[in-house]
A = this chain, B = another copy of it.
Amino acid sequence: MHIEQASHEQLQSELAALEMRYAQLADQQLALDLTRGKPGSEQLDLSVQLDGILQGDYFDAHGTDVRNYGGIDGLPEARALFGSLLDCSPAETLVGGNSSLSLMHLVLEVAMRCGLRGPDSAWQRYEQNRFICPVPGYDRHFAVCEHLGIEMVPVPILATGPDMAAVESLVAADETIRGIWCVPRFSNPTGCVYNDDTVERLARLTERAAGDFLVMWDNAYAVHALSDSAPRLASISACARNVGTMDSVVQFGSTSKVTFAGAGVAFLATSEANLNVLRSQLSFQTIGPDKVNQLRHVRLLRDRATLAAHMGRHAALIKPRFDAVLNALEAELSGCGMGRWTTPEGGYFIAFDTLPGLATEVVRLAAAIGVKLTPAGATFPYGKDPQDSNIRLAPTYPTLADVQAAAEAFVVCVKLASIRQRLA
């Protein structure tokens, strides 16, 4: 039944059936949660050997005792391994603590208050600073901008990445634009992978921009494919080197969804010039990162092949959960005209778009029967989805049975809201 083709009677009969299903779900007193992009406990168990892996050997390949102070850039072998994920050299890479968000905050704060090219380049000298935010996107990126007083300009994200025509026009026309947020592989929340043309054009953006411009390349899901056939991401480092824009590209990653979400290591790669500035700023805040944990990670993840095998074990746990949601959506909503969704090949999220104006209502309906969803609007700057349509589904954390139950409840809520709206 397509909602726009159904008769009034058909819709009323469907509504009655849905209300019965909804009431039955309510009776089950569910307590389900699809809100958080967190690994499940089986995933965490994949790295359980991290604690103890050093076996008393606290010395890195250079003979440095990692227990002591020092080394603000992180361990050389950690810089080599994690830099390689971003196609950058150890000299272009800094490995920090457990949070890539804190590295992103550092970069924007330094750009804002101190300037990456000397005090005259600090964004705070401008009256207005704006950042392009592909939407839907990641709420913590938006929060950093808001916190630092950077105004956000949304641009739609397509299957190929941000709408580059819109991005390029904005950058050319608006000299207050200072940068763009990107989650280039398995984007949060749509799961799209930026195509080669998009990566190339993003690396060239500086050429159009006035003054300092930053591509904030949060490659949080760089190695987080659900299968070997997932699309590859072009190297923005290679593109930026070709066109001489490495100073404008700052890449981030972490092992939060490789090892332990709260106790991994985060890393950053950019030009050596940028790294010099960031290092000197960082030195006011810390003597250095936790190198012991970095060494643990190097011992566990070793090299690209070992890491890939490790990520394959994550995929084996995650893919059934993605499938549970996608199967429920396909089975109940395909061809119904009651919403669209993405079918990611990696990452942590599925993005669902309800009919315009229904996201808030769907989230409310789900909450009322014990299914917690990410608040409507959370994937947009200032929490405002102009269509009130996007809902981020995060299937990794609950058990498979819970994901199935939550997905079934979700589709009932979507259909209920859609048909009620149609009949209103």
Q: Show the binding face of A for B, using Cβ within 8 Å.
A: 36, 38-39, 41, 44, 47-48, 50-56, 58, 65-71, 97-99, 101-102, 105, 140, 143-144, 147, 256, 260-263, 283-293, 296
B67, A285: Cβ atoms under 8 Å?
no
Q: Looking at the complex, which one of B144, B263, B284, B285 makes contact with A290 (CB distance below 8 Å)? A: B263
Q: How far is the CA of A290 from the CA of B264 in the complex (A)?
A: 8
Q: Which residues of B contact A283 (CB under 8 A)?
A: 143
Q: Looking at the complex, which one of B47, B99, B291 makes contact with A263 (CB distance below 8 Å)? A: B291
Q: How far is the CA of A54 from the CA of B54 in the complex (A)?
A: 13
Chain B residue with the shortest CB-CB distance to A266: B286
Top 5 closest pairs, chain A to chain B, by CB: A52-B52, A263-B292, A67-B260, A99-B286, A147-B284
Q: Which residues of B contact A65 (CB under 8 A)?
A: 41, 44
Interface centre among A38, A51, A97, A256 (most CB of B within 10 A): A51
Q: State the oligomeric state as a number of copies.
A: 2
B101, A286: Cβ atoms under 8 Å?
yes
A69, B284: Cβ atoms under 8 Å?
no
Provide a sorted-by-A list of 29 A–B residue pairs whose CB atoms are within 8 angstroms.
A38-B68, A44-B65, A44-B67, A51-B51, A51-B53, A51-B54, A51-B56, A52-B52, A67-B260, A67-B263, A68-B260, A68-B261, A68-B262, A69-B262, A98-B286, A99-B285, A99-B286, A99-B288, A101-B285, A101-B286, A102-B285, A144-B284, A260-B292, A262-B287, A262-B289, A263-B290, A263-B293, A290-B290, A293-B293
B54, A68: Cβ atoms under 8 Å?
no
Q: How far is the CA of A47 from the CA of B68 in the complex (A)?
A: 12
Q: How far is the CA of A65 from the CA of B261 in the complex (A)?
A: 10
Q: Which residues of B contact A256 (CB under 8 A)?
A: 69
Nearest CB in chain B: distance from A68 CB, A: 5
Q: How far is the CA of A147 from the CA of B109 in the complex (A)?
A: 13
Q: Which residues of B contact A51 (CB under 8 A)?
A: 51-56, 58, 292, 296
Q: How far is the CA of A148 from the CA of B51 in the complex (A)?
A: 38
A69, B290: Cβ atoms under 8 Å?
no
Q: How far is the CA of A140 from the CA of B284 in the complex (A)?
A: 7
Q: Which residues of B contact A102 (CB under 8 A)?
A: 285-286
Interface centre among A53, A288, A289, A290 (most CB of B within 10 A): A290
Q: How far is the CA of A5 from the CA of B283 in the complex (A)?
A: 48
Interface centre among A55, A71, A101, A287 (most CB of B within 10 A): A287
Q: How far is the CA of A100 from the CA of B71 in the complex (A)?
A: 16
Given known A51-B51, A66-B262, A285-B105, contact A98–B99 (CB-CB < 8 A): no
A97, B290: Cβ atoms under 8 Å?
yes
Q: Which residues of B contact A101 (CB under 8 A)?
A: 285-287
A44, B69: Cβ atoms under 8 Å?
no
Nearest CB in chain B: distance from A330 CB, A: 30
